[in-house]
Amino acid sequence: MDLATHQRTLLGLIRSTYQVGSHDDAYIQAVARSKDLEEAWRNVFLWRIYVLQRSCVLTFRLLKRRQVLDEAVSAFIAQRNISPFRETQGPAFLEMLSQHRDTLIASVAQFELAFMKVRQGDPGSYRIPWNVEPSSILTSLAKDVPFEDFVPEGLYETVVSREVPSLVQIVCL
């Protein structure tokens, strides 16, 4: 096995995207069964949790409430070539979740990513669609309190822009 293939295989083991077969050499098979690989994967996972909990607070809390946090972080590790710079991990995670099948998770991730960009000086204007009234959802996540018993459904949009007071405007469509 050439060095590049060997390295890709080890990366696949760490990301849990590579399935070892009988064709793999003894070293790869030994690594796949090792406690060291399990510990390395756990360390990568916990580091991602640590960074994302601090950089994507709203989305992180929603994923935790929906009990899909582990699934989302595991998918992030498996599907993305993640920079070692923690400043880039949050935006990459939010970008991935912006297409989530759960529309509330997608809206919160899009909102948080847009807000992050605008706070850092991005001159763009971002419009995020919602199918529930976003104010109570965002307040609940920001304060880390349970959602209200009733959240009005409907078509809403948050506008995130430097041109808007407080950077955010909620529009009922």
Q: Where are the domains of the chain?
A: 34-172
Q: pTM (2 decimals)?
A: 0.84
- Could you give the CA distance from residue 55 to residue 10 in angstroms, rounded to a whole number? 28
Give residue-wise pLDDT tens across range 73-118: 999 988 877 777 788 899 999 999 999 999 999 999 999 999 999 9
- Render 100-131 in DSSP notation, one character per residue: -SSHHHHHHHHHHHHHHHHHTT---EEEEEEE
CB 108 within 8 A of CB 57: no
Half-sphere exposure for 162 (CA within 13 Å, toward CB): 9
- Averaged pLDDT score across all residues of the chain: 92
β-strand partners of 130: 156
Q: How much is the average pLDDT of 149-171?
A: 93
**Pair of tokens at residue 53:** 């909990």
